[in-house]
Every structure is written in structure tokens, then in C-alpha cells.
Amino acid sequence: MAKLVIFWGEKNQQLFSWRLSGNQKNDPSKSSDHLLENYQLESKEILKADLACMADMAQYNSVILVLSSTDVVTAQVEVPNKAQRLLRKAIPYMLEDEIATSVDDFFFAFSERDTNNILPVRAIERNYLESLLELFHSAEIHLSEILIDIDLLSPPEEGIKLIINGSQCLTVDDKNKRWHCHPEDFSWLIQKQINLDDIDEELPVAIPMDIYSEQATDELIHQLPVGRFAPVHHPLADIFEFMLEQEQKGINLLQAEYERKKENSKLTGFLLKVASIVGFVLMTHLIYQGFNIYTLSEKKQQLDVQKITLYKQAFPATKRIRNPEKSMRTYIKNLGSSSGEGDFLSLLTSSSHLLTDLSKIYPTNINYDNTRSELRIDVIASDLVVLDQYAQALTASGHKVEKSSETKRGDGYSSRLIIRK
């Protein structure tokens, strides 16, 4: 299947361009001139308001939308060897200092990390992305991919490849580092970039630079640092065709909740639902019949042992333990009735009342200092936001809270809270 590639341009542009990529070159019936006549299109540049006129052509081709780099944040981050689902949660906060607005307003897409654990990341405003999806849905055009123009460029074997497309420069080097800027800013930005690299100042070597554009580049070449680059200009008749010829696999923004769902027939969907229900019922029945009684008895024994262990830890002087649960209740009742408003029982009750979801945050150790009337709780939270929310809730309810530094523990974070009235 041929690919219909729509170059959307910048967000505020009124026009977009389209090109075909695939087997249309060997098929005269799929040539651009033939399609212009067949679909009654005047040119390869169309008003964005007239997007619906591409619906018939899109019906028989795989549609790829290419956005401008000016509307997308391009970054590379060094990430640990973590699971994909953890990276999706962590990456927004890793790039928080590089984005002017809140990271909650952006959707982050990324590909596979390289051998040096460097992960290419692309961030786009959710409102802009969702407006594009709604616009193409209204035009009855199904998008298979959403890419960024800078990701279409294949890296050169040596040096730097520069594409000048209107009001922006797209740059990629032999290390696959990508960045973009306005043509007027290119000379000082490239000087800043090479200053960050390890270059022998005593023996400078001219860096090969291949420049591709439809317009003249003499002024830009003259602004380059003298002796640092060996620029070669390659004039192009159609810069979009050249970008498609690169055949570079970019980062598809249609990921996670925006990933395109596979289309299945009604019969296939019905059979999958029936098979999943039957499998679930069968698995539940086998587990219930085979392990329910054994599991419950084992759990009861473990709980009894834990009761005695906890009681011994709390009251090491007690030698004979008959009913630890009853003794503990009696002790707590007596303790709560003799200490006043800031006592252990009232602090424990008011603090535990705010633990509404134990799957997100739960206590691991509780200690009460009677002389200072303070409750010390060690907790483990699923993330730092949940931990801060619990501390804020305690403060809002009239408590004085001191929080120790957080420690990473597994998939969560542990901390100690000192609570007073």
C-alpha cells in the first residue's frame, strides 16, 4: 500500500502539503499528476480548512501526518534500565526543567533506548494533539502515524546534515543528535554546539556539512565559523520528496492512549469476548476449588504468629501471652483514656482516618513517644505525590507534621512522619 504523507507545517500555517511515498513511481495510475486529475485537486498545497477533500485519496492509502518541529519538544534523556510503564511516568518529571509550561499539559512519546541508555523523547501539547485527531476524524481520514519532520532525516556517515525548509533549519549529525532552529540563529547555535564537543584546538579539522535546500544558502554559509566546517550545498527541486527518500523510521506520536486500535470484525470480537469469559470462569473455578481452603488456613496461622510477634515487640517484659489481641485492646483503651487530647489513641485515629487508599500508601511501623506526645509513622507510598498529599491532609486537619527525607524502595518511596497535635 502506498503512503499518503501530509506535511502539516506549523500550527498557525493556513496551508499543508501532501506527497505520495511507496509504489506509485512504478504505477502510472498512482502518479501525483494522475491523482490531481482523478481527485480534482488543484495542487499539492491545500488549505487546512479543506482537509476533507483528501478523504477519498486517504481511503486507499496509509496516511502519515508530519508535524513541524517548532510545535514539538525534542529531547534526549539518559534513563535507567527500567520497564516501559515506569519510564512513561518518570520522563515528564525528568524534562520538567526544560519545558516552560506544566508537563501535565504535554503528551510524551518515545522509542527504544540506545546502547548508552539514551532515550529520544518527543513532547506535544495534549490539546493540540487531540484537536488534530478530532480534525482528521471529522474529515473521515484515519491516521496510521504522526511523525515529526526532523525525525525523517537519516544521519550522515560523517559530519552534519542540514535541511533548510522555509523558516527552520533541521539538523542531524553522525551521532544521531537532532535539533532545529531558525536560519538566522543557526551560525551561533552550531558554534555553541561544537564548543561542547571535544575538539583539538591545535589541530582543527573541518567538519563535513551537507546543506539541502530549495533556496540559495550563500548568506548562511558565510556566517559559519571560519575553518570549522566544509559546507557543500545540494540544491533540491522538492524538499518534501527528498525527506521521504530518507526512509528514516521516526517516533510515532500515536502511543499509549492515542495508539490506533486494531480493527476486528464483529464475529472475531464476539468470539474473543466469549473465549475470555470462559477462560476466566474456568480459571476462577479451579483456583477456588483447589486452593481456597488451604490458603485461608495458612493465612490464619500466619496472622496468629504475627499477633504474638507484634505483642512481644511492644511488651518485651510480658512472659505469658494468652490473648494478645484482647490485651492490646485493653492497653490502648487505657492509654487513650488517660492522656488527653494529644494522646496516642486520638493521634492514631485521626491519622489513620486519612489513609483512604492502602494500595497507594500504607504504614509499616508505628511508634508513640509519650513524653513528647508525638506519633511516629513509617509509611511506603507509590510515588512522591501521594506522600506529599497525605502530609498535606494531616496538616489541613490540624496536625503538626515533620517529614524525613524520602528513600526509594522498590516501586515506591518510604519516609517517616512525626505527627503532633
CA distance 308 to 91: 45
Superfamily of domain 339-420: General secretion pathway protein M, EpsM (3.30.1360.100)
pLDDT at 368: 85
pLDDT at 137: 92
pLDDT greater than 50 at residue 183: yes
Mean pLDDT, the chain, integer: 82
Q: Are strands 118-125 and 207-213 parallel, antiparallel or unpaired?
A: unpaired
pLDDT at 30: 54
pLDDT at 194: 74
pLDDT greater than 70 at residue 87: yes
In the chain, the largest separation of any two C-alpha atoms, in whole Å, equals 97
Strand partners, 106: 125
Q: What's the average model confidence in pLDDT over 201-217?
A: 79
Lowest mean pLDDT among 163-177, 227-241, 348-362: 348-362
Q: Quickly tell me which residue has 526543567 as its cell.
A: 97
For the chain, percent of residues with pLDDT exceeding 90: 19
156 and 172 in contact (C-beta within 8 Å)? yes
pLDDT greater than 50 at residue 341: no
CA distance 373 to 336: 12
What the block records as the C-alpha cell of 95 is 524534562
pLDDT at 287: 85
CA distance 344 to 202: 73
Superfamily of domain 154-239: GspL cytoplasmic domain, C-terminal subdomain (3.30.420.370)
Q: Between 26 and 58, name the one with better pLDDT.
A: 58
CATH number of 1-152+248-261: 3.30.420.380
Backbone angles phi, psi at 146, to 5 degrees: -125, 115
Q: Quickly tell me which residue has 512525626 as its cell.
A: 418
- Annotated domain spans of the chain: 1-152+248-261, 154-239, 264-321, 339-420
pLDDT greater than 60 at residue 100: yes
Q: Between 44 and 38, name the one with better pLDDT.
A: 44
- State the distance between the two ends of the chain, measured CA to CA, in whole angstroms: 70
Lowest mean pLDDT among 181-195, 202-216, 327-341: 327-341
192 and 209 in contact (C-beta within 8 Å)? no
Highest-confidence segment of 217-226, 309-318, 333-342? 217-226
Fill in the amino acid letter for 65.
Answer: L
pLDDT at 170: 92
390 and 361 in contact (C-beta within 8 Å)? yes
pLDDT greater than 70 at residue 6: yes
pLDDT at 83: 61
Q: Between 303 and 171, name the one with better pLDDT.
A: 171
Q: Express each pLDDT in 349-404 by its tens digit.
A: 888 888 888 888 888 888 888 788 888 889 898 888 888 888 888 888 888 888 88
CA distance 120 to 396: 41
pLDDT greater than 50 at residue 412: yes
pLDDT greater than 80 at residue 55: yes
The pTM (predicted TM-score) of the whole model is 0.58
Q: Are strands 229-235 and 45-47 parallel, antiparallel or unpaired?
A: unpaired
Task: Let me know the angle formed at the C-alpha of 246 by 245 and 251, rounded to the nearest 5 degrees.
Answer: 125
pLDDT greater than 70 at residue 156: yes
Cα distances from 348 to residues 100, 238, 335, 340, 363, in angstroms, run: 42, 72, 12, 13, 11
Q: What's the average model confidence in pLDDT over 56-66?
A: 88
HEC-encoded secondary structure of 287-324: HHHHHHHHHHHHHHHHHHHHHHHHHHHHCCCCCCCCCH
Q: Do domains 154-239 and 339-420 have the same CATH topology?
A: no
Contacts of 227 (CB under 8 A, 6+ apart): 204, 206
Q: What's the average model confidence in pLDDT over 177-195?
A: 85
Q: Are strands 178-181 and 168-173 parallel, antiparallel or unpaired?
A: antiparallel
252 and 146 in contact (C-beta within 8 Å)? yes
What phi-psi label fits residue 69: left (phi over 0), alpha (psi between -120 and 50 degrees) or beta?
alpha
CA distance 342 to 254: 54
CA distance 56 to 40: 11
Residue 203 pLDDT class (50, 70, 90 cuts)? very low
SS3 category, 168: strand
Neighbours of 419 (CB within 10 A): 22
CA distance 337 to 220: 83
CA distance 369 to 399: 16
CA distance 263 to 393: 46
